[in-house]
Every structure is written in structure tokens, then in C-alpha cells.
Chain A
Amino acid sequence: MTKKFKFKFNRRAFAYPYMIFMLLFIVTPLVIVLINAFLADDGSFTLKNFGEFFSNSGGGMTVLGNSLVIGLVTTLICLVIGYPVAYFLAKYHASNKILVLLFILPMWVNFLIRTLSTKAIFMALDVNLGMGTVLFGMVYNYLPYMILPLHTTLVSIDHSYIEAAEDLGADKFTVMTKTIFPLSLSGVASGITMTFIPAISTFAISEILSSSKIYLFGDAINMHFSKTTNSFGVGSVMSLVMLVLVVITNGIANLTSKDEEVKSVL
């Protein structure tokens, strides 16, 4: 017996347009990428694309390594800068909403414009474009994505936990390391995912802030699709690798916040 699909016009129907959109513009392209990864130039099945990428003949693995390192360092810097900021924002949240606004404000400006202006500032200061400027641009652009989830978690920590810890004789450092930080781990995890994933796949920031001298994974994928013919296969393999990285990062993030129950407001 097959279950007959019957269209019922209820609240769920409002979700259908977006579901169709997702199916067309997210799932279908992913499937096409997957198929392309296994196709040779003439359209036959092959595993050569994987060989070509993993053997590093075109420097694909080098680029991946560079991107991962830059992504990691960016995330680390964002975390180191972002955590105290989020902490103090959370602490003085009630009294100063303007502070929060100031941190979100840069996000209202288009990030390409922001990056181009950053380049102009560096050029005016006679700074040589390179690794340093790219890192600066990345941290500048992705810092809000680190601060916001951290801020949300830190604000929602029940203050009585901290008071309890203090009553039991913990000093400020211990309260921080043993109470506040463990309670904010889910925020740290989502902050890391929101920073790390875009940081390893970016290509506009490196292109503008190093004049394309720093060549990242996003640049390499872009090159395989738009500047050459007959290399869709390798480009697709690289996109797949990117996807696997995204899945792994998400998996790790989910592990740390597994015990958190999702409380729906509905």
C-alpha cells in the first residue's frame, strides 16, 4: 500500500515554497557537484579527479593546508578577542544596549565595501599587502559572527550558578574557568563553526587584501570553474572536500552541545 499524498492547506503549507527553493537551489546543485566529481572530460566515469587533487600535482593540497591554517588562526584570534568582548557585553547588557549595537553596526555595511575600504586604509598607511592584511581582514569580517553566539549564551547563563560558586569559595579565576566557560561551551562551538567555515572558503577577502597573492581554497575552486575549461571534475572534488570539512566541523560543534536540550518556543 502506498500512502497517498494529499495536499492539505494548513500551517505547514507555508513552509513549502522554501522547501521547493531548497530542493532546487541547494540539493540539486550539490548532487550535480557530486556527479561532476566522478566524470572525466568526455563524460565517462573516472576516479582520476580525486587522484589529481590528492596527489597535489597542481598544489591543491598545499592550498587546502594554507586555507586550514589561516582559517584556524582566524578563528583562534576571533575567539581570543571575541570572548572577553562578549563577556563584558553580557555583563553590562541591561545598562548598555548601544554597546551591542556598535558591534553589530559593521555588519550593516556590505562586506565587500568594508574590505575594499580596509585595503584603501592599508595602502594609505603604506602597509605591504600579504598574510598580515588578509588575517586582519578575516578577523575584522568574522569577529561579529564569533561575538554574537557567545553573547547570546553568556547572557542566558543563570547568575545564581556564579553566586553559588562564589559562596563556595571560588575566586574570580576559578569562577571563570570552572563555571562560566563550561556553561558557555555551546556558544563557543557555534561561534567557531560560524567563523571557521566561512574563513576556510573565503576568496574575496584574500583576493582584495593581498591582491590575490594569498591563494586560498575558495580561489582555487573559483579558478577551476571560471578560468579553465575541462577542469570541472577537479573543481567538484575540491568542493566536495570543502563540504566534508563543513560536515566535520558541524559534527564536532554538535558533539559539544549535545547535552543541551532544544527548548522550542512553539
Chain B
Amino acid sequence: MKNLVRIACLMLVFVMVCVVFVGCNQTEETDNLVIYNWADYIYDYEDDFKAYYRQMTGKNVEITYVTFDTNETMLTKITKGDSNVDVICPSEYAIQQLMEKDLLVPLNYANEAEFTKGINFVDGANYQHNYSKLDANVINKINDAFGAVTNKITGKTEAMLDYMVPYMYGTLGILYNRYAFIDAGIISVNEDGSYDATAMNQANWGVLFNDNGKGELLSDSLTNSILMKDSIRDSYAATVFYLLESGVLDELVVENTSSEYYGKPYSEIPAGVLINMVDENLIEACKVALSQQKQELFGYEVDFGKDDLLVGNAIVDLAWSGDALYAFEESWNDDLNDGEGDYELAYYVPHTTGNIWFDGWVVPKGYNPKNLDAIKLFINFMNNPYSSAANMYAIGYTSAVDPNAIMADQDALGYLAEGYAVYGYATDDDGNLLPVDKCDFANIEEFNDYFFYMVDPVDNSNWRYPFMFADEENSNFPRNINTLGVMRDFGDKNKDVVVMWNYVRSAAVSSWQLLLWTVVVVGVTIGVIALIRVIILKRRKNVIINK
């Protein structure tokens, strides 16, 4: 017993010493910041940001970094109010929900008294928030879709950009194996080496449904090789686009009397509006299309999609542009293209219709006012050209910062050029310049053509910067940025779409067949055993009687 007391005393002393040490640390000039972001959605920013923070304020900052993997997880956490985070990075529709529920703090410093307290960085030479370095196209597109969001608590109508600083954006499209598509005859190679994608451009979103655009099978080799994203909203958007192209929507008429399109067929509604209509008969049509699609699918994916395509298990996938770029860069194969090497995968956003989305930084009402400086500086830091370049290099998505600002910034361009092994920038482990034959790009212009002005040889479009058009007039299928719709929150209709998705996922599983077979097999087995048993017993009886 004495020993026990002694141990207890020792432990108590130890704990007290610890407390004293921790206490000492806290009295130093250290600020805190809690970041709530998507997993794998930022570069290794911590040291850079801490240095920047010290330079701006003379203080240290301690960062707590928490991640989420779906907007819905994040929304649940924030709306239930059980988390203390300072800055979040949701998608546009989730930001809309948060705004409607009056859960966000306005970031537009000019209007908001509270946010101008503390250090006023707005006038500081190093401060660029809100729009000055952001891509004007992104700003316009967000304003078009979310220029007026009604706060359901206060009744006020506000612009989303007063609450959000855009971070990354991208498109929803089709990631495919280019060589498998050539084999399947979906794209063909002309004599001069250029691509003929007529069949693919007629099918468009039908590629995911193995439909050539006229209701016929596109290719046998697509069967069991299509991957669909296990994401309700994205799959819904792709299906609506497909329905539009396949002509199903020509016969479907808007029945909602309060809609401005009442009585018109759905196909006459602009694509950007259409993906935000969640009418009952539209959902029903999607249910039918998605259930049929299931026969053609390899499966639904969340995390393994890229791998399945790289390994060759599937040849098409519904994908976001950032994931697609990542997979594209991974897909370099030395054996292709007569031994010269080529990228096996490619990405394609159908030119008729598409979806563009945005993620941005917002500050929830539950933020810690003590962390205000750190919040402002963090958002600011994330939108300087250098961090933007580093982020794009690390995660593959497109930064909302103007590409011209990145190209003009020597540090940012240098970071990218070094990462992508451009001659004159890339170095080996000892810090010596790499010789030109070991570099992937011979000069910075060549790299810029790859990174900023990339033109896909098959469909003449720029995946990374969908706002940049490649030779719009000379292409057979010109991409117009207005064909890219922004998806708003489904609101009350969300539940109906979830129900539809669950129905599709659960349908067409042949378990009753399985049960039937099992019963038959069990029955036959028992029957056979019983029969053999009876025969054996009878024979034995006969033997006994004969004796």
C-alpha cells in the first residue's frame, strides 16, 4: 500500500510539472487557428504559413488541421454546432446551405464592422483579399449562380462572394483510356496523326451509359468497363445531361405550375437551369436511366476509381478535373506510341453540357474571435500566387487565382517549373541543374504550353483552365463556357434525390435467384443423402434377413 501511495505522489508531481511547462508555453505570443478542409486538398503549407504569419504579425501561430471527406459530413458537423473551427473550405452548394441557415460570417471587410476589428489588412500593401488576384471568370461565374442567396433566418438576400473567398475550381467530366477508346472505335486516328472524335462527341455523356447518342449500344468493350461516381449530386447531373442528349427530355413536360417553364419540354430549358431543377418526373427519368446503366457498369467508385483506370479494370469514369489530371499524369506509359511513350488516359467534358464547381474559404459563426488575425492572414496566404502554384502542383485542381498572376510571379512559376522538371529550373539532390536530356520540358515556354495552355488533342479543350478556349472557331465541337452549369443546393428536394439514388443502388441485385438456387441445392443434397441412406439400410436389412 505504501508503494502505491509513493507511485501516486510521483505521478502527481509529474503531472504538475507538465502543467507548468504547458502553461509557460501558452504565455508566449502564440495565436491559434483551426482549419477544416477536404482531405488531400492543400500542399505542405505549414512552415511557409508560419513564417508568413511571423513576418506579418511578429507572433507564432499554432495550427490545428481537421479534414472531412464529403460536404455532407462537414455540414452535419457545422449545423449541429458541435465544432469550433475558424475557417472551412466547402463547395459552393454547401456554402449556399450554410448561408441560408445564417451560419457564416461575412468576409467583405468594407461592409462588416466586426471583421475590420483588429489589424486592418485591407489597406496593407501585402494584402490582396478580396478579388484583385482572383480569376475574373471565376468571380463572374459564381456571381451569376449565387449573386443572390436568401438567408432564411434574417430574410436578407446576399451575394455569396461576400462570404466566400474562392480557393479551387474544376469541372465534372469523363476520364477515359484513350487507347482503349481507339480500340473500341469510339475515337479514331486520322492518317496525319490527328484524332477523329466524332463518335465520342455524338455520344457525349452517353459514353457513361454506353449509348451512342441515338439509343444504340456505343461499343461492346464498354460493357462492364464503366465506372460511375458514388456521389449523388454528380451522378444526378451527369444523368440529366445524358437524358437531355438522348432525347428523353423532348417528351417530358414541366408539370410544376409555379415554374416559369410550365408546359414546356425540359429539353428547351438551358442546361445550367436544368441541372438545378429537381422535379419529380425528372428524378423518375433519372431513376430509369440509372437503373438501365447498372447493367453496363463495372461499378461505383469513391476512392479506387483512379486506380481501376490506371490498372485497366475499367476504361471510363465519371471524374472531377483535378482527379483526372492527377490520373492523367500518372498514366504515362513508355511502351505506347511506338515506344516514344504517351499518356494512356485522357479527360473530356462534353461540349454540349457540363458542370463547373467551386470550393472556397468561409468563416463559420462559431469561430474564435481571438483567431481573427490568423483567419484573415490564412485566407490571404492561400490566395497568393506562390501558394496557389504549390497547391495546384500538390493536388491537381485549378486555383481560383488568375493564371496570368501565377505566370507573372517568378517564385510561383519557379516552383512549378522545378516540380515539373523544366530545364533551367530543375535540380538534382545536390542542388545542381539537371542536364536537358533528364528534364521533361526543355524550356519554360514548352512548360507553359503544357500547364497553362494545354490543348487536348482529342477534343480541343483546356482541362485545367476551362475558361481558356482552344481555337474555338476551327473546332467542330467548340466549347462555350456558358454550357458549363453551376449546381445549386437541391434544398427540400435533396431527400427525393437521395431516395432515388438508394433505390437505384439497391435494385437489380439478384439475391432472390441466389436464394432459389441455394434452396434447390440444399434440397437436392439432402434428398440424395436420404436416398443413399435408405438404399444402404434396405440392403443391410436384406443381408440380415437372408442370414
Interface residue ranges, A against B (CB under 8 Å): 57-60, 62-63, 65-66, 69-70, 72-73, 76, 123, 128-129, 131, 135, 173, 208, 210-215, 219-220, 223, 226-232
Q: Are A76 and B522 in contact (CB-based, < 8 A)?
A: yes
Q: Across the interface, name the chain B residue whose C-beta is closest to A177.
A: B533
With A and B bound together, what is the CA distance between A210 and B298 in angstroms? Answer: 8
Question: A100 CB to closest chain B CB, in angstroms?
Answer: 28
Contacts A228-B232, A229-B79 given: A59-B70 contact, CB under 8 Å?
no
Q: How many positions in chain B have a CB within 8 Å of any CB in the partner chain?
A: 44
From B503, which residue of chain A is reached at the shortest CB distance? A59
Contact of A229 with B76 in the complex, beta carbons under 8 Å: yes
The 0/1 profile, CB within 8 Å of A marked 1, for residues 484-505 of chain B is 0000000000110011111101
Instruction: Map CB proximity to A onto B502-519 as digits: 1 under 8 Å, 0 otherwise.
Output: 110111011110110010
In the complex the two chains form, is A230's CB within 8 Å of B230's CB? no
**Inter-chain contact B72/A229, CB cutoff 8 Å:** yes
25 inter-chain pairs at a CB distance below 8 angstroms, sorted by A residue, are: A58-B500, A59-B502, A66-B506, A66-B509, A69-B515, A70-B514, A211-B227, A211-B297, A211-B299, A212-B230, A213-B509, A219-B505, A220-B506, A226-B70, A226-B73, A227-B70, A227-B72, A227-B231, A227-B232, A228-B72, A228-B232, A229-B76, A230-B494, A230-B495, A231-B498
Q: Is the CB of B499 within 8 A of A58?
A: yes
State the Cβ distance, A168 to closest chain B Cβ, in Å. 16
Q: Which residue of chain A is the closest to B94 with respect to CB atoms?
A: A229
Residue numbers in A under 8 Å from B506 (CB-CB)? 58-60, 62-63, 66, 215, 220
The residues of B that contact A69 with a CB separation of less than 8 Å are 511-512, 514-515
Chain B residues with CB under 8 Å of A232's CB are: 76
Confirm or deny: B158 has a beta carbon within 8 angstroms of a beta carbon on chain A.
no
A70-B514, A228-B72, A228-B232 known; A223+B502 contact, CB < 8 A: yes
Additional 11 contacts, C-beta under 8 A, given A73-B518, A211-B299, A231-B498:
A57-B503, A58-B499, A59-B502, A208-B304, A213-B300, A215-B509, A226-B72, A227-B72, A229-B72, A229-B76, A230-B495
Q: How far, in whole Å, are A70 and B514 apart by their CA atoms in the complex?
A: 8
Given A173-B533, A211-B301, A228-B72, decide whether A128 and B224 contact each other with a Cβ distance below 8 A: yes
> Which positions in B face A, CB cutoff 8 Å?
69-70, 72-73, 75-76, 79, 97, 224, 227, 230-232, 294, 297-302, 304, 308, 311, 313, 494-495, 498-503, 505-507, 509-512, 514-515, 518, 522, 533
Beta-carbon contact of A212 and B511 below 8 Å: no
Chain B, Cβ-Cβ closest to A60: B502
B294 touches A213 (CB 8 A): yes
With a cutoff of 8 Å between Cβ atoms, the chain A residues found around residue B69 in the complex are 226
Q: Which residues of A contact B512 (CB under 8 A)?
A: 69
Query: Which residues in B have their C-beta under 8 angstroms from that of A220?
Result: 502, 505-506
Q: Are A229 and B301 neighbours in the complex by a CB distance under 8 Å?
A: no
Distance (Å) between the CB of B408 and the closest chain A CB? 41
Chain A residues with CB under 8 A of B518? 72-73, 76
User: Whole-angstrom distance from the CB of B70 to the nearest CB of chain A?
Assistant: 6
Write the chain B residue with the least CB distance to A220: B502
| Docked CA distance A173–B70 (Å) | 58
Contacts of A65 in B (CB 8 A): 511
Q: List, in ascending order, chain B residues with CB within 8 A of A229's CB.
A: 72, 75-76, 79, 97, 494
- Would you call A58 and B502 a contact (CB within 8 A)? yes
The answer, among B304, B501, B507, B514, for a CB contact under 8 Å with A131, is B514
Closest residue of chain A to B498, judged by CB?
Answer: A228
Knowing A173-B533, A213-B294, say if A57 contacts B76 (CB, 8 Å): no
What's the Cα separation between A214 and B507 when bound, in Å? 9
A231 touches B495 (CB 8 A): yes
- Residues in A with CB closer than 8 Å to B294 are 213
Identify the interface centre among A69, A173, A231: most chain B CB within 10 Å of its CB.
A69
Cα of A232 to Cα of B227 in the assembled complex, Å: 28
